[in-house]
């Protein structure tokens, strides 16, 4: 089984940031959330607000999108060209995606790609509130172990060294930079 991070790994760019920008353009009412996001962003930058709290404040904009399910489907449909060709060339049926992005967003992309195994941050698409821990760092390992126990990871791919805990579980790990894959020496 191969395990992949999503943003900047399989997907070119940050899918959550893309969703936010898409909302500003396609649901202009969400522009009202910008002052809140900027204020909370400053608090986060000054280390006065934890990352998950900042993200929850950013995701508050979801309350302004009344057709969120259809909106997310439209976004993912329009952004499938962000999926990197190297991944599509090696995709397997038992691939697993583990991401810090909202689970509802990653699942939408995964359905279109035929990927059944997804673990991501549990965010309510209607309220923007987390319903558990942000799926990042050691939390990715905890979530993986919860579902797969000690089942080994054949290959792991990520763009970020923050995924080192999960990379250590793999027989072989790769750091992804753009379309370049480099063996991850742990």
> Could you say which of 3.30.2350.10, 3.40.50.1000, 3.40.50.720, 3.30.2320.20 is the CATH number of the domain covering 2-13+82-183?
3.40.50.1000
- Domain(s) labelled CATH 3.40.50.1000 in the chain stretch across 2-13+82-183
Q: Is the pLDDT of residue 94 over 90?
A: yes
Question: Mean pLDDT throughout 102-116?
Answer: 98
Q: How many Å separate Cα 151 from the centre of its chain?
A: 23
Report helix, strand or coil for 129. Answer: coil
Question: Mean pLDDT throughout 13-41?
Answer: 97
Q: Which tokens belong to 6?
A: 């999503």
Q: Is the pLDDT of residue 108 over 90?
A: yes
- pLDDT class of 4 with cuts at 50, 70, 90: very high
pTM of the model: 0.94
- pLDDT class of 186 with cuts at 50, 70, 90: confident
Question: Mean pLDDT throughout 72-81?
Answer: 98
Q: Which DSSP category does 22 fall into? A: H
pLDDT of 72:
98
Name, in order, each residue with C-beta under 8 angstroms of 157's C-beta and a sequence gap of 6 or more.
2, 3, 4, 5, 9, 10, 173, 174, 176, 181
The residue behind tokens 């038992």 is 94
Name, in order, each residue with C-beta under 8 angstroms of 27's C-beta and a sequence gap of 6 or more.
64, 65, 71
């Amino acid at each position: 089984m191969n395990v992949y991070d999503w943003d900047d790994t399989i997907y070119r760019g940050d899918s959550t940031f893309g969703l936010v920008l898409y909302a500003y353009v396609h649901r202009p009412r969400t522009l009202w959330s910008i002052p809140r996001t900027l204020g909370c962003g400053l608090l986060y930058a000054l280390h006065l607000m934890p990352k998950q709290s900042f993200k929850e404040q950013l995701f508050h904009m979801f309350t302004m999108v009344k057709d969120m399910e259809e909106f997310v489907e439209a976004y993912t449909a329009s952004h499938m060209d962000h999926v990197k060709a190297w991944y599509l060339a090696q995709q397997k049926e038992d691939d697993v995606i583990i991401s810090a992005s909202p689970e509802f967003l990653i699942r939408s992309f995964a359905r279109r790609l035929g990927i059944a195994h997804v673990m991501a941050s549990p965010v309510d698409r209607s309220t923007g509130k987390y319903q558990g821990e942000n799926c990042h760092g050691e939390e990715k390992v905890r979530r993986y172990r919860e579902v797969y126990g000690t089942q080994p990871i054949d290959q792991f791919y990520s763009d970020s060294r923050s995924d080192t805990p999960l990379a250590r579980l793999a027989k072989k790990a790769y750091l992804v930079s753009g379309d370049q894959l480099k063996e991850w020496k742990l």
